[in-house]
Amino acid sequence: MTSTNQLEKLNKQYYHFNTLCNIQKKKSGKLKDYLISIKDDMCVKNVESKAGGAILTGYKPLFNATVVENLLNEGATIIGKNSSRRCWIWKFFY
């Protein structure tokens, strides 16, 4: 399994992630050996979600999106949140 230090080093070089984390709910399940990165517009409990815009900087949801909860229930490990294009609503302002 990739360590957090390795991910931080790679992220400094390539900037794949907006936020790094290491969240695992169960150690068994269909996805127990999978490392998953979530798009930044999906809610992950207590992990910053910006949805591609500065207006949400600092927002940490109090809940997991259903897809995140399902992944965690099957043993997946959430390792971070990837960049996301700006929210569609911002297009009206440009």
pLDDT value at residue 92: 44
State if pTM tops 0.75.
yes
Q: Which of 52, 54, 72, 55 is nearest to 64 (CA)?
A: 72
Structure tokens at 83: 């960049």
Delimit the domains of the chain by residue range: 4-88
* Secondary structure letter of residue 38 according to DSSP: E
pLDDT value at residue 91: 44
pLDDT value at residue 7: 83
pLDDT in tens, 36-47: 999 988 999 999
pLDDT in tens, 16-69: 888 899 999 999 999 998 999 999 889 999 999 888 778 888 999 999 999 999
